[in-house]
Amino acid sequence: MPDPQTIHDLETPSVLIDLDVMERNIATMQARCDALGLQFRPHIKTHKLPEIAHMQLDAGAVGIACQKVSEAEVFADAGITDIQLPYNIVGEKKTARLAQLAKRARVTVTVDSKATVDGLAKAMQQAGATLNVMVEIVSMERRTGSTTPEDVLELAQHIIAQNNLNFVGVMIYPSIAAVRPRLQAVLKLLADNDIPVQMVSGGGLGSILEADQLPELTELRIGTYVFNDWGSVDKGWANLEDCAMRVRVTVVSANEKDRVILDSGSKTLSSDNRNGLYGYIEEYPQARIHRLNEEHAYTDFSACEGMPQVGDILHIIPAHTCVVTNLHNQIYGVRGETIEKIWPVAARGLVW
Amino acid sequence: MPDPQTIHDLETPSVLIDLDVMERNIATMQARCDALGLQFRPHIKTHKLPEIAHMQLDAGAVGIACQKVSEAEVFADAGITDIQLPYNIVGEKKTARLAQLAKRARVTVTVDSKATVDGLAKAMQQAGATLNVMVEIVSMERRTGSTTPEDVLELAQHIIAQNNLNFVGVMIYPSIAAVRPRLQAVLKLLADNDIPVQMVSGGGLGSILEADQLPELTELRIGTYVFNDWGSVDKGWANLEDCAMRVRVTVVSANEKDRVILDSGSKTLSSDNRNGLYGYIEEYPQARIHRLNEEHAYTDFSACEGMPQVGDILHIIPAHTCVVTNLHNQIYGVRGETIEKIWPVAARGLVW
């Protein structure tokens, strides 16, 4: 089958990336970080595509962040040499692979427990590798992270005591302004104990808006900005014109205005939603995608002037872009209606 | 790298299928349908694996149901000759592929609009193919389906008027007892108009419990039963011992009892949940997986006697099994701790 040349050659559902918008997003975020004096480290979980990572690096990023060793391997294979995994890498098989990776790239991970440090130290020693390690500080999200400044200090000292680990700093997610007191308490305690901190790594799309209130940061990790999504817009973190991803879908049933079905269910858009809505339909801004089955989007056009007919093509800005890429074997980079890029999603499905 | 021999050779997160339980589920559902005098047509959306479909057919199933032309092609390539797509197949490129499929397998689709019928008829005529068509009746779910009995009649007549389409019957989902009045009204109207109905196709896991109250049915389409999941158990449709799927995960953070993080987020378990919970942890039945990020499961062990430590391996019965398979490049068939099967998920990611 010949490669599709324009979006009209595509079946649905297909994921389109507006290259003009994406390129602008890449340039704009880099400029915002530059203006703040922050190193920028894009998180590749949003696209999982080495080619886009290289565009981000070419624009000035210092390296990438990713979440899994398997993803990191894909990007190292693509020539990327500065990789951060803001994650507790746990388990002998995984730390052994991480050690191999650390021999061919500058690799930095985060930890929030002695058990994780010990696992990393053992693997690095066995492989003769060296790893950079940050201690994670828990935020109000209460996800991963050391609970108190004293815990952070103890972990930093434990890292420093290992031959094959370099303590490089601290990490927090999301790095909103409200975390400043706990960040300052940690940094003061480390300074009081003569422990140098090279890196204070923040992250999260919303955190760029408050980064000027966190002068302690040295770098930011952000992923979603490259495509943006309906969730970002609804939170006020982006505008509709900043959204680069559209899911091109077909109306497959339209018997009642409040009961229209699109061919884009949870295996296309994922079940992630924003206030109960799974996306924004460009052609019908008032339409509500209010429920998904695996291959069906239940859509209500009651609030719209008209309604689409069976066979109509619509374009959805999804609620959460990062999980959409992960569901598709390939995505399409477009300029206008022309397909410029057919990108296999290189690092998807690598659940390890 | 050598193939993993036991579950201890696997990294996490990994998806395990207990083959003993799966084989029992396949035998039991077939026996239940046999006892009811119903033809059984497993929906392969749950596993997307030709080898499992063949096991279902060997047990007595009449054919398979799947949702997409791309999936149907994978199963036709694997030698399956009776394929139902209970879906409105819309769009010239898709109906053209469907026509090619209809030349090498017995293919049946559903429709709920004249536009869909016209598209199918045109594609079959162009390809010289013949297609079996059912009319879908809307259920209380208000998904796809013709709205009134008169609409069904009109569509049936429209199908009959096409040279390359065979009207074979009606379909409804889910086929719970409460749909009987509307099903009877449709069947009476079709009989009054001398339109023969060979097939009355019902579906949905819960519908097996009420199938004896719907004697009009000739066949059932069910998918989830092959693995079952926490959602099925919570609804009372299955027991824990009927659940064949486990996601093997690692505790990566355990600093506070109500703030434990597992390495299985929405890219592993999907965001589908049951009453706000994303699965059931076999080792800690009282634990609550209450939130997911892409690679993190936020888990609260407050109600448990103990709590796990970093590095512990746990096993999750996911809230919704069908969307989990779809996220993984391969799943593992196990008997006890021995890995008997390494199955690439053949039809995943084929979003078309």
The tens digit of pLDDT for each residue in A117-146 reads 999 999 999 999 999 999 999 999 999 999
The amino acid present at B78, given as its one-letter code, is A
Contacts of A14 in chain B (CB under 8 A): 351-352
Residues 6 or more apart whose CB falls under 8 angstroms from that of A182 comprise A137, A139, A149, A172
d(CA A241, CA A228): 10
Cβ-contact A87, A109 below 8 angstroms: yes
B231-344: CATH, from 2.40.37.20, 3.40.640.10, 1.10.3720.10, 2.40.70.10? 2.40.37.20
Q: Is the pLDDT of residue A111 over 90?
A: yes
User: In terms of CA atoms, which chain B residue is nearest residue A297?
Assistant: B143
Question: What is the average per-residue pLDDT within B307-336?
Answer: 95
Judge whether B305 is closer than 8 Å to chain A, CB to CB: no
Question: What is the average per-residue pLDDT within B333-342?
Answer: 97
Percentage above 90 pLDDT, chain B: 94
Judge whether B300 is closer than 8 Å to chain A, CB to CB: no
Judge whether A295 is closer than 8 Å to chain B, CB to CB: yes
Q: Is the pLDDT of residue B295 over 60?
A: yes
Percentage above 90 pLDDT, chain A: 94
Judge whether A299 is closer than 8 Å to chain B, CB to CB: no
Residues A202-224: b if buried by 16+ CB within 10 A, e if exposed? bbbbbbbebbeebebbbbbbbbb
Q: Is the pLDDT of residue B352 over 70?
A: no
Contacts of B121 in chain A (CB under 8 A): none
Contacts of A142 in chain B (CB under 8 A): 256, 259, 298
Judge whether B270 is closer than 8 Å to chain A, CB to CB: yes
pLDDT at A351: 47
Cβ-contact A107, A166 below 8 angstroms: no
List the domain boundaries for chain A.
7-11+231-344, 20-226
Is the Cβ pair B11, A293 closer than 8 Å? no
pTM above 0.90, yes or no: yes
Could you give the angle at the alpha carbon of B25 between the alpha carbons of B19 and B28, nearest 5°? 140
pLDDT at A350: 55
Q: Which of residues 220-259 of A touch B (CB under 8 A)?
A: 250-256, 259
Q: Which of residues 99-138 of B touch A (CB under 8 A)?
A: 112-113, 115-116, 119, 138
Q: Minimal Cα–Cα distance from B245 to chain A, Å? A: 16
Is the Cβ pair B251, A90 closer than 8 Å? yes
pLDDT at A98: 98
Nearest to A349 among B296, B323, B329 (CB): B329
User: In terms of CA atoms, which chain A residue is nearest residue B313?
Assistant: A91
Q: Is the pLDDT of residue B350 over 70?
A: no
Judge whether A310 is closer than 8 Å to chain B, CB to CB: yes
From the centroid of its chain, how far is CA A89? Answer: 18
Q: How many residues does chain A have?
A: 352
Question: What is the average per-residue pLDDT within B35-41?
Answer: 98
Contacts of B252 in chain A (CB under 8 A): 87-88, 90, 116, 144
pLDDT tens per residue across span B266-280? 999 999 999 999 999
Question: What is the average per-residue pLDDT within B123-139?
Answer: 98
User: In terms of CA atoms, which chain B residue is nearest residue A88?
Assistant: B252
Is the Cβ pair B14, A259 closer than 8 Å? no
A20-226: CATH, from 3.40.50.740, 3.30.930.10, 3.40.50.300, 3.20.20.10? 3.20.20.10
Is the Cβ pair A116, B294 closer than 8 Å? no
pLDDT tens per residue across span B208-230? 999 999 999 999 999 999 999 99
**Conformational region of residue B308, where left means phi above 0, alpha means psi within -120 to 50, and beta covers everything else:** beta
Q: Minimal Cα–Cα distance from B314 to chain A, Å? A: 13
d(CA A60, CA B237): 55
Topology match between the domains B20-226 and B231-344 = no
Instruction: Find the range with the poorest average confidence among A252-261, A309-318, A322-331.
Output: A322-331
Percentage above 70 pLDDT, chain A: 98
Cβ-contact A5, A332 below 8 angstroms: no
CB pairs under 8 A between A and B: 174
Q: What are phi and psi of B255, to 5 degrees?
A: -85, -25
Alpha-carbon distances of A157 from A69, A85, A133, B89, B104, rounded to whole Å:
25, 21, 12, 62, 68
Q: Minimal Cα–Cα distance from B145 to chain A, Å? A: 8
Q: Minimal Cα–Cα distance from A132 to chain B, Å? A: 18
CATH code for the domain defined by A7-11+231-344 = 2.40.37.20
| Position A349 confidence tier, pLDDT thresholds 50, 70, 90 | low
Q: Minimal Cα–Cα distance from B185 to chain A, Å? A: 19
Look up tokens 């009045």; give the residue: B181
Residues 6 or more apart whose CB falls under 8 angstroms from that of A137 comprise A145, A146, A152, A170, A171, A172, A179, A182, A183, A186
